[in-house]
Structure 1
Amino acid sequence: MAVTIKEVAKAAGVAPSTVSRVIADHPRISPATKKKVKKAMKEMGYHPNANARNLANRSTQSLGVVMPSSADKALQNPFFPEVLRGISAVAHELDYSMLLCTGETDDEMLEAVKRMVYSNRTDGIILLYSQVNDPIMHFLLEQNFPFVIVGKPAERVDEITHVDNDNVRAGKEITHHLIELGHERIAFIGGSEDRIVTIDRMRGYELALEEAGLPYLEDYRIHTEFLKSGGRQAVHELFSLPKPPTGIVIADDLMSIGVVNMLEEFGKRVPEEVSIVSFNNVYLSEITRPPLTTVDIHIHGLGSQAAKCLIEKIKNKEEPAKRIIVPFDIKYRSSTKEIKTKQEG
């Protein structure tokens, strides 16, 4: 026979209404009382009627998470499982579930998000990307639906809660590291040009070259997918040039692994002949050979902060927009080397 609220209340020494308020996470219930009631619920095997509770609260206790492309492609990149781990940790702690949304095209993604919103399947949405002219972001703004972006919005920055790193500064610092080692021919390999993270990291790269008085060459800028295959394709283009680069800034660790593999096929050794630096500090960056010098953007923290911000917005529709900047640091490893002699050109 199922345990009732009255039985839980009796065991915890509180009124049944207090148990109901604990289940609804009422702010006026003290942490000590919540702990006592939850302990009694756990010991007695009491499970609140989620449907009844959600109807009463007009809440689904669910966070929608929108990937930037199909799950099959996105989940090849270790960034996404790690950011989802950060979101999941906070969601679990605060009794929320996660609903993942993917699609092959922008139109498919928009339709999937519309279904989530119109059918009340989620209380709020986290976008795991930011791009120029994003129809999903525009739709969520029109609907006044709670959402948070992991990244920097392409527009209306002060009106949209977002969690990001200072990618311009990170791009500048990691490029400066190559310049300090004597590199003058430095290329940049990034993702799609409509993704704000690529735009910002490339801007930092440009600023570092500008400050050092080095040329910014169009031929040294390649845009491809954030996948190993993207890195391999970029190496083909760069090392077919009359003067290939001696240093490469790569906007994503997974692409970097493709670059290292392809350089080996070209007979180029890292870091003896080509130095590479990267972003994200995913687990692969430390175990690849050589281990990558990379910007640690604290991916788990991006996810957990995004979840916290979204739940705050869900609970208080008047919550002002926030800009959370997660600090970064650079992990210096073995993929870079000083150039002893001055380069030509």
Structure 2
Amino acid sequence: MTVTIIDVAREANVSPSTVSRVIADSPRISEQTKRKVREVMERLAYHPNFQARNLAAKSTKTIGVIMAHSTSLAFQNPFFPEVIRGICTSAHSSQYGIYLSTGGTEEEIYQEVVSMVQGRKVDGIILLYSRVNDRTMNYLKRSGFPFTMVGRPYQYEDEITYIDNDNRQIAHEVVDYLFSLGHEQIAFIGGNLDYVVSSDRLEGYRQALMEAGLSYSDAYFIHDDVFKSQGKGSVHDLMKLDAPPTAIVAHDDLVAYEIIRYLEELSIQVPKDISIVSFNNHALSAYVKPPLTSVDISIFELGFEAANFLLEMVSNPEVAVRSHFVSTALIERESCKRMNGLVE
């Protein structure tokens, strides 16, 4: 049986007009009441027809941009300013502005997205992450509101428009590169497996080992939580193994910078004693010591194409679901060497 606005009002013990005002994100309704009504809407799986409302409403000429963390934390990572630069470039060409999320927790981010959608504050939304079992993504999909993702969706991959790198393939290629230098004892450090990008890169690493006839070892994998909590200690334990790695794949450049610092404190030199390769190719990676070999994942293009896709969806709600992998390139610098001692 179809759930109606009257059902929501009855369950929330408010009037139907109050539910309508909550859907419109009216400032006349308290935040407490909004939260109560939205919880009932979610529990009853009541989803207003936002596409119909969007056709009738005047465009806001604004794109909502949602990060996995608060802006204060996100902008500590060079990935986010660059991907937002790509979004802004595309948005500007269509005379659109952007509305950045400021939520500091998953719940705050979710409530902010609900407010953006129900209050018609934006014409569409870009999620700058893909998280396992993400409540916000699931809400956007159910609502029918236009959105795109930077990152392969954890589920509904054929039903959501997204832009990404082929993270499994590029991780495989990174390990193959280290194989070509004579390395076989290769560790993988970092990456929160709640995020699809991390699990995909780890899967590519494992697949490369398997195809080379090498076994995956938990001892050679340092999870993001362990790396953040133990820092130097986790790297020390790795290098004190009976068969320590000769090379490390870091989940991203920021992780690689930390690893290099910890190795220096342990009197282990890169690349003399161990090779390191990473992902993202931040501008600083050319200037750290040693300059870091890293995969350029075309961060600007990720944002630019995500915005292009979204603006097409906004202008034409019937446009087909699409996905696209942006090209990547391994930038060889001075953090890797052949096992015979030659620096690559």
- TM-score tier, shorter chain, comes to 0.7 to 0.9
* Correspondence 1:151-166 to 2 at 5 A: 151-166=151-166
- 1:95 alignment partner AA: Q
Spell out, residue by residue over 1:287-335, the C-alpha distance to the aligned partner (whole angstroms, 9 max, x if none).
1111111111100000000000000011111111101111111111110
Name the CA distance, whole Å, in 2 between partners of 1:59 and 1:223: 44
Provide the residue aligned with 2:131 in structure 1: 131
TM-score after normalising by structure 1: 0.79
Checking the alignment, whether the CA contact within 8 Å between 1:229 and 1:258 is kept in structure 2 is no
* Correspondence 1:293-312 to 2 at 5 A: 293-312=293-312
Provide the residue aligned with 2:215 in structure 1: 215
The gaps in structure 1 that reach 5 residues or longer are 1-53
Provide the residue aligned with 2:249 in structure 1: 249
**What secondary structure is seen at the aligned counterpart in 2 of 1:85?**
helix
Checking the alignment, whether the CA contact within 8 Å between 1:228 and 1:257 is kept in structure 2 is no
- 2:271 alignment partner AA: P
Provide the residue aligned with 2:75 in structure 1: 75
Provide the residue aligned with 1:39 in structure 2: none
Provide the residue aligned with 1:148 in structure 2: 148
Matched, 1:87 2:103: no
Give the stretch that moved more between structures: 184-193 or 233-242: 233-242
Deviation at 1:190, TM superposition (A): 2.8
Distance 1:55 1:340, change over 3 A: closer
Name the CA distance, whole Å, in 2 between partners of 1:108 and 1:179: 44
Matched, 1:282 2:282: yes
* Correspondence 1:22-171 to 2 at 5 A: 58-171=58-171
Deviation at 1:236, TM superposition (A): 3.9
Task: Give the count of matched residue pairs.
Answer: 288
**What secondary structure is seen at the aligned counterpart in 2 of 1:159?**
coil
Give the stretch that moved more between structures: 98-107 or 152-161: 98-107
Deviation at 1:213, TM superposition (A): 1.5
**What secondary structure is seen at the aligned counterpart in 1 of 2:158?**
helix
* Correspondence 1:226-245 to 2 at 5 A: 232=232, 234-245=234-245
Name the CA distance, whole Å, in 1 between partners of 2:230 and 2:98: 30
Deviation at 1:86, TM superposition (A): 0.4
- 1:176 alignment partner AA: D
Distance 1:102 1:337, change over 3 A: same
Identity %: 47
Provide the residue aligned with 1:340 in structure 2: 340
Name the CA distance, whole Å, in 2 between partners of 1:229 and 1:79: 22
Deviation at 1:232, TM superposition (A): 4.9
Checking the alignment, whether the CA contact within 8 Å between 1:189 and 1:234 is kept in structure 2 is no
Checking the alignment, whether the CA contact within 8 Å between 1:68 and 1:102 is kept in structure 2 is no
The gaps in structure 2 that reach 5 residues or longer are 1-53
Name the CA distance, whole Å, in 1 between partners of 2:285 and 2:87: 22
* Correspondence 1:309-328 to 2 at 5 A: 309-328=309-328
